[in-house]
Structure 1
């Protein structure tokens, strides 16, 4: 390991206690009279967190506010908890940063695009669950991705998130020092989700590594960005090396998601549909209707998992 880089693996192993209460890795919060979750427009001094969120057992997060609203409407119908008017209020209506919806034991939250955006959301989400005294939480990111060696529409359940050099780690600079954090995800949860996909039997699903990049264009080896200083042969060599290392899809949030869930003792998974095979091109050219159907596949899988977990299948 390079000089100046510290590894939090030992600390993470000591702190993480998956399965029960949320572990809050910040002793300073206990000294605060009030905790304001600024980007959610919520606070412990203005909201009764246990009353609002204490019954939450499943949290699903995804990039788009509209997609997460569609998911809560879908899961509400699946659980027989649909509203009469078909509307579900945005709990975070006081801000335009994120959107949050709740039905029964399910919370649905948008996280925007990229590591910085989901990181901010997760800090406040983890604190929300802690303040609400939630336990036995399952947290699942559902989203879209670029596939490698898979047909468009395939669903990837992430085994572990890797960086752009295919290492299963997330680098976080804290007080000028680079901290290395583990990006493994819950193996048993991945197996449970895979079994659910087999029971649904509607689309191809695989368990594989997910490469998390810092941007959509150069970081993912695309040829169609405003800047590109490599050729197609170099791009394909890189993507094939990623495939050979076990990578099956590429997105921009899974590494910090896995790292933060590990440190907080949260059982977590990432379930993303592939919109294209990056070995065959860079631009998404499928029709709107096909893309909408693809985007529904992760929510169908996760919705079935939630129903099965609640004994409703």
Structure 2
């Protein structure tokens, strides 16, 4: 501390450094040269919207496949944070497009991403730019969703340690200019442990940390026997899934690899929290009653909601 600096001034300087260190990093030098950045799939743009006023207070972003599920989540978290009631109307911020839906309650943003790697990748590009233009810092992004379990009872929740591809390698392959680029798919270890601790505090459902296999397809890519095409035997299917389990895979979904890769490149804390709807070692089709499935789908929301409440109290 230099002469004349007060403790208050020192703290403010330290806070500014911390904010700078945890700000959103966009890995694109061309963005700063653009007069306006149009986030086409969000129907938002820096020339038409005040991003900092709209989103500058965001600390948590939760993303999931279904628009209706993400609206349900924002109502749930608003009630948990006492920023609104379940009967409040939360308008879709992306109402100018039918690609994605976005809702906000206090420092929490809830965004749908559709199904599969291409859909969530497009959303993440624009979401990361939105957070950057809004000058957000210290942001955590969590994907909440459903999955097929491997060796777990239906209704179990998996917190992803690392996303692996269909050959069980922890990597995401992105083809750029005709060449394959491989990106890391590890997720934040501390965030995963914090989530597991929250699950133990809730003590309502089985929760584990494990690897998640991310596939490009729901049927053949996940070794199902009930698709329009099946080129393998039931025995080969079981051998494959058992090999996945041996490699530490505890569930299968279709978005985690690019999610993890883009969080890593952008320096954002990320987590994937998915409930299992069935044990794939026991079958392929989801025959669980609708009311039971609805309860299962609330489990990632409860877990992530508990984490958000705890961490906001510390800020």
Shorter-chain TM-score category? Answer: over 0.9
Tell me what 1:143 maps to.
145
Query: How far apart, CA to CA, are the structure 1 residues paired with 2:240 and 2:294?
Result: 29
Tell me what 2:16 maps to.
none
Tell me what 2:305 maps to.
303
Tell me what 1:96 maps to.
98
Query: How far apart, CA to CA, are the structure 2 residues paired with 1:61 and 1:212?
Result: 16
- Corresponding residue SS for 2:270: strand
Tell me what 1:69 maps to.
71
Tell me what 1:171 maps to.
173
Query: How far apart, CA to CA, are the structure 2 residues paired with 1:109 and 1:267?
Result: 17
Which of 77, 82, 85 is 2:84 aligned to?
Answer: 82
Tell me what 2:8 maps to.
none
Tell me what 1:184 maps to.
186
Tell me what 1:32 maps to.
34
- Corresponding residue SS for 1:310: helix
Does 1:41 pair with 2:43? Answer: yes
Tell me what 1:5 maps to.
none
Superposition deviation, residue 178 in structure 1: 0.3
1:262-284 CA distance string (max 9 Å, x none): 00000000000000000000000
1:254-299 CA distance string (max 9 Å, x none): 0000000000000000000000000000000000000000000000
- Deviating above 6 A after TM superposition, structure 1's stretches of 4 or more consecutive aligned residues are none
Superposition deviation, residue 83 in structure 1: 4.8
Aligned length: 296
Superposition deviation, residue 87 in structure 1: 1.1
Q: Is the CA contact 1:19–1:137 (under 8 Å) kept in the aligned structure 2? A: no
Rg comparison, structure with higher value: 2
* Equivalent runs, 1:117-266 vs 2, <5 Å: 117-266=119-268
TM-score (norm 1): 0.93
Higher relative contact order (CA 8 A, sep 6+): 1
Query: How far apart, CA to CA, are the structure 1 residues paired with 2:67 and 2:34?
Result: 31
1:19-51 CA distance string (max 9 Å, x none): 600111000111100000000000000000000
Q: Structure 1 residues 18, 237: closer, same or farther in 2, change over 3 A?
A: farther
Query: How far apart, CA to CA, are the structure 2 residues paired with 1:85 and 1:196?
Result: 27
Q: Structure 1 residues 267, 18: closer, same or farther in 2, change over 3 A?
A: farther
Query: How far apart, CA to CA, are the structure 2 residues paired with 1:234 and 1:297?
Result: 32
- Corresponding residue SS for 1:157: strand
Superposition deviation, residue 85 in structure 1: 4.7
Q: Is the CA contact 2:275–2:296 (under 8 Å) kept in the aligned structure 1? A: yes
Which of 282, 288, 312 is 1:280 aligned to?
Answer: 282
- Corresponding residue SS for 1:193: helix
For structure 1, list consecutive stretches of 5 or more residues without a partner in the other structure.
Answer: 1-16
Q: Structure 1 residues 166, 297: closer, same or farther in 2, change over 3 A?
A: same
Q: Is the CA contact 1:19–1:267 (under 8 Å) kept in the aligned structure 2? A: no
Tell me what 2:294 maps to.
292
TM-score (norm 2): 0.92
